[in-house]
Structure 1
């Protein structure tokens, strides 16, 4: 692959054609694939972290890399309202890299989400590459990207942008406080929040790790709709650019027709209330923040 930006939808279409999938199965294009399995449904997803692209060994420990590789995938399950069950991992690393510490990071973080590391593979490489596959139980209706309806309220689970601040400062050998550092190096997947959104009748959801603006456009594209945002919740210490396009937040964005049900489900689950940030509209070309066009800014990789 080159360093050029990839056309995600074209890649998905190409994979579908090569694999001869039935498009009506709606397997590709969401945060995870949902597949039938002996009377139940499983959600499956995979993601990789690559040295020099997703992490820098100058300020990442092996355990932090392993933990985040798990969280990246569990966040995708959370966006589908799926319960984590199992983790598989493949690791490529140089001979002197502490693979055992990385594995401990994977195993302990999987356990924190109620999942179990059940296998994988190790191989030598000039660079560290960690790939994780997560498998979850889809007991609730899956929250797909393509279900948003005009009139839905748009929610996000937490204020945004702090991980972007940490990345900027750490990559320049700057100083960061523990809270800011943890936002990047030790994020949490919003599993319970995904469950609450599904129970409240959410129509669509997406993990916004690539940035609020970019991932909201992805959800709108999948749903064939537009949006009007009226606010962006910004974490203390971050700016609007960090919150809109910085990425690495691993929060959930979802749409739901009844805000009162959402607030009620979150309250019953004793979760922090999500932020209502806008409304889904019918015109796919009508996508604004405070009445100004909002471009799909964010992290493309």
Structure 2
């Protein structure tokens, strides 16, 4: 194995130059990328511009004991692209700021950016700049993404109406259970460094945790079907929390039916192994990065046979509150018990 290069050996500008070599531009609106004081972007006429930013801090949002740097780079982009998708927009450009402590080498940062480049290619987005600086601690990433939607097509959280159908993409709870597996294997390793992680039976849920995918495919598919959601949000903090966000923004209530919550078999199996309620994992686990959205009842025929969209309930009048309805028909108030930042 070749000797690794301390960041101090080449300095900030040489590092930027090395990272820049692997970055390519894909968007026609990108006039100038990395290399100047700022990027130059020319949005297409007749479009709405959306912008989002996210901060990822080592020890809070990720653990490098079990999160490979390439996976972290990919995930850092994907979770921001997910916010753009939740606005019914498509990402176009992004900037990356990072702060790295002395234990990180040039090769480590290049591995991180290799994951980012893969994500940029997957989501057709241009990395056009950012900032790098030293840290006295660990690794911190700040990603800002720009996106575009046709004029009048960007979707807010606030457009839901009573009787609108409540829909979710993919399946839920897998990322949380993947984290439980990784944490367990980390503890086993700390107790016995000779122990090899046993992940073969957990590939799906571990992937859901380490390398989630933003659901841009659904944004494209909804447009192709002539559907514009009335409200939308991505599921980062848990389904229950996101339903409550939509209700608060739209001034509505909601009825979510437990029997319709989409749960993959690997999620159910892992929940049983950890003696956890899979519904609780789906409602409060977080980091699934699926899309939760509402559509008018009149769009039911356009969605009912979609293999990756599940209708889990509907919005109601605000005074009815947000409720979880069990298989027995009992309605209980929906409570958010997922991730909080502080």
Q: Pick the TM interval, shorter chain.
A: 0.7 to 0.9
The correspondence for 2:160, drawn from 141, 148, 159, is 148
SS at match of 1:215: helix
- What's the offset of the Cα at 1:95? 2.6
Name the counterpart of 1:121. Answer: 131
- What's the offset of the Cα at 1:42? 1.0
1:96-126 CA distance string (max 9 Å, x none): 3211111111122111100011111111111
The correspondence for 2:279, drawn from 223, 226, 240, is 240
TM-score by length of 2: 0.72
Name the counterpart of 2:171. Answer: 159
Are 1:109 and 2:119 counterparts? Answer: yes
SS at match of 2:150: coil
The CA RMSD over aligned residues, in Å, is 1.9
Change (3 A) 1:292 1:95: same
Q: How does 1:39-54 map to 2 (within 5 A)?
A: 39-54=46-61
Distance 1:221 1:284 in 2: 12
Q: Does the 8 A contact of 1:226 with 1:280 survive in 2?
A: yes
Distance 1:227 1:292 in 2: 11
Q: How does 1:69-218 map to 2 (within 5 A)?
A: 69-97=76-104, 98-125=108-135, 126-139=137-150, 141-173=153-185, 175-176=198-199, 177-197=202-222, 199-218=226-245
Distance 1:157 1:197 in 2: 12
1:26-71 CA distance string (max 9 Å, x none): xxxxxxxxxx986532111110111011110100111111111100
Task: Tell which deviates more after alignment, 272-281 or 247-256.
Answer: 272-281
- What's the offset of the Cα at 1:259? 3.7
Give the length in aligned residue pairs.
261
Q: Which runs of 5+ in 1 are unaligned?
A: 1-35
Change (3 A) 1:37 1:113: closer
The correspondence for 2:334, drawn from 294, 297, 301, is 294
Task: Tell which deviates more after alignment, 109-118 or 226-235.
Answer: 226-235
Moved over 3 A (4+): 36-39, 195-199
Q: Does the 8 A contact of 1:200 with 1:261 survive in 2?
A: no
Distance 1:246 1:284 in 2: 27
Distance 2:157 2:112 in 1: 32
Task: Tell which deviates more after alignment, 49-58 or 137-146.
Answer: 137-146
Name the counterpart of 1:14. Answer: none
TM-score by length of 1: 0.82
Q: How does 1:3-18 map to 2 (within 5 A)?
A: none
- What's the offset of the Cα at 1:261? 4.9
Q: Which runs of 5+ in 2 are unaligned?
A: 1-42, 187-197, 269-277, 326-330
Q: Does the 8 A contact of 1:78 with 1:195 survive in 2?
A: no
Task: Tell which deviates more after alignment, 144-153 or 285-294.
Answer: 285-294
Q: Does the 8 A contact of 1:45 with 1:73 survive in 2?
A: yes
1:72-101 CA distance string (max 9 Å, x none): 100001111111111100011113321111
Task: Tell which deviates more after alignment, 168-177 or 222-231.
Answer: 168-177
Distance 1:201 1:178 in 2: 34
- What's the offset of the Cα at 1:194? 2.5
Distance 2:129 2:318 in 1: 46
1:115-167 CA distance string (max 9 Å, x none): 01111111111111111111111126111100110010000001100100011
- What's the offset of the Cα at 1:211? 0.3
Distance 1:43 1:261 in 2: 30
Question: Which structure: larger Rg?
Answer: 2
